[in-house]
Amino acid sequence: MSSALGPPVRRGNRRLGSLLVALCVIGSGLALPAIAGAAVPRVGPLSVEQDESATTGTAEAVIEPGGLRTEYAFWLEGPRESPFCTSPIPCAPLRLVGTGYVEASVTEKAVSAHVTGLAVPSQWYTWSVTARNAEGEVTRNESFVTGVLSPAFEGTPYNHEISQAAIEGAQQAARAGSERAREASEGSTREASERAARPVPWCVVPRLKGDSLRTARRALDKAHCTLGRVSKPKSSRLQLVVLRQSPRRGVKLGDNARVALTLGSRSVSATNH
């Protein structure tokens, strides 16, 4: 079975095809396996709920698989401003919200799908659930309006058929979204691995004694260190240079470690030498 469920299959054409296959098989001397009680699946009415914010919704349906393994798919069409849609193509964006299958049995099973990001207020949506097995396919619809916490449209069923082009477009959009998410995840992982493999720089304190403040700052940047506290005389007519530094030259520290400087005049520096 294909995972993409299209429009409801016309029973007359399927029966004609089955009859032709049966004639061919019988003519070849083979016997067809009998499936006792197999039938087209039945889908009960859709139950539609929203949370208090009306931005998330859940659709639930009961499927009786007719004694055969049955695929199902939930679709959501909207938003739109009207509950009615007479166009042969979807009147609003169509999304594939959830898929799954019900094992072969004659027991009803509740299935559901959840969606977020509904537009508010007073926007119309339509849930559709399609169930298909080897005997045929059936679709049920339920329209609702955001902001109303119960099914908002009763009466004439929403009889809009989902075109194959719309189904393929929704599937392509879903695949593209998954591919973008995968690429983003791989990019983040690769970047983290590159950062982990990159060598961590160290601050190896350079010799700064006798340098001007500008020269000392450049030397610190080149050595992956940062200029820390700077002490200097209140007044001086001579050019100031580094007299003392802390930590001392050659000490190995973490990246961007701070180095404190004490400045004085060149004459004092020459005396200290």
| pLDDT (mean) for 250-256 | 88
How high is the pLDDT of residue 149? 46
Asked if residue 25 has pLDDT above 60, the reply is no
Q: Sign of dihedral through CA atoms 140, 18, 166, 1? A: positive
How high is the pLDDT of residue 103? 93
Q: How confident is the model at residue 169 (pLDDT cuts 50, 70, 90)?
A: low
How high is the pLDDT of residue 184? 83
The larger pLDDT score, comparing residue 53 to residue 11, is at: 53
Instruction: Identify the structural domains of the chain with CATH numbers, from first to last.
Output: 11-31+44-174 (2.60.40.3880), 203-272 (3.30.10.20)
How high is the pLDDT of residue 131? 92
Q: What is the dihedral of CA 165, 169, 175, 177, to 10 degrees?
A: -170
Asked if residue 34 has pLDDT above 90, the reply is no
Asked if residue 272 has pLDDT above 90, the reply is no
- Please state which of the ranges 82-86, 229-233, 250-254 shows the lowest mean pLDDT: 82-86
Asked if residue 270 has pLDDT above 70, the reply is no
User: Residue 87 gets which letter from DSSP?
Assistant: -
How high is the pLDDT of residue 111? 92
- Please state which of the ranges 62-76, 103-117, 171-185 shows the lowest mean pLDDT: 171-185
- Tens of pLDDT, residue by residue over 118-167, are 877 778 888 889 999 999 999 888 888 877 544 433 333 334 445 455 55
Q: What percent of the chain has pLDDT over 70?
A: 71
- Based on the number of CB atoms within 10 Å of its own CB, is 205 exposed (0-12), middle (13-18) or buried (19 or more)? buried
